[in-house]
Structure 1
Amino acid sequence: MDRLEEIREIVDNVLMEQANLELRRIGFLHIYGVASFSNLLAIKRGLNAELCAIAGMLHDIVTYKTGSSVDHAKLGSIEARKILNETNSFNEKEIDIICNAILNHSNKYNVDQVYDEILKDADVLEHNLYNTSFPVEEKEKKRLADLFQELNLKI
């Protein structure tokens, strides 16, 4: 099985087990949106699109598994490492890239490694393109403006 499809199957199962139907709905929208934007940005920036899409699929896995977003980046990184190791489809370097991106994705003010930045940017795009009438969070304003400039979009 294709590695991305293997991760999608795992994530879909986690989401389907979420009893809160609204959280499940949001989970499907958000995770697939972030994965797609991660893919797009990876292609644009010349990075591994598969690893970026997988990071996008797993970045909030613990939130949708537990129903809580407390410390979700750290806990999500741990859960993602467990999932990736269990598949036996990824080498240690790939696992580190994905899990570090997940670990760092919530800190939108910091600039980290290139894969971390793709996940942060994809997360910001999904938050703000889901409904453009919603206000932009302060921590996402500069990053969103920079992304719109990079993608040649008007705010």
Structure 2
Amino acid sequence: MTDTILIINGPNLDMLGTRQPEVYGHDTLEDVEALCCRTAEEVGVEIDFRQSDSEAEIMKWIKQGRGTTVGLLLNPAGFTSTSVAILDSLLIYDRPIIEVHISPLFKRDDFRHPSHVSRAAAAKIEGFGIRGYDFALRKLTEWAAE
């Protein structure tokens, strides 16, 4: 197993920076990836950074990460409160999972509050903008070293 952390971003996160900047800020997905690359270099891990609007593709990536990565950082975005299928894939994954959200879900629409993903995650970070990715990567690296 390599010291690689899988980072999966869900639907519409490719539109960061232009989509509802009052909610998500002005940082782009490229900014998120650059932050993750800097953090990974600092803490000595590799990252596999991905984004998809496809539930099936996200499920496939999670299952492919089993046994080949040391942790999973997942921003499920719009699939957070809707995808039992992603939850089932996460329950197959055999390493720590941290769920990350740029905006605070508890301040958003009521239908966004429940998270299926949280049932499989070791931790959840929300409302810190893209800085949540940095913290999650650092924590996953700590757990991988234990």
Scaled by the length of structure 1, the TM-score of the pair is 0.31
The structure richer in helix per residue is: 1
Q: Bigger relative contact order, structure 1 or 2, given CA contacts below 8 A and separation 6+? A: 2
Scaled by the length of structure 2, the TM-score of the pair is 0.32
Structure possessing the higher radius of gyration over alpha carbons: 1
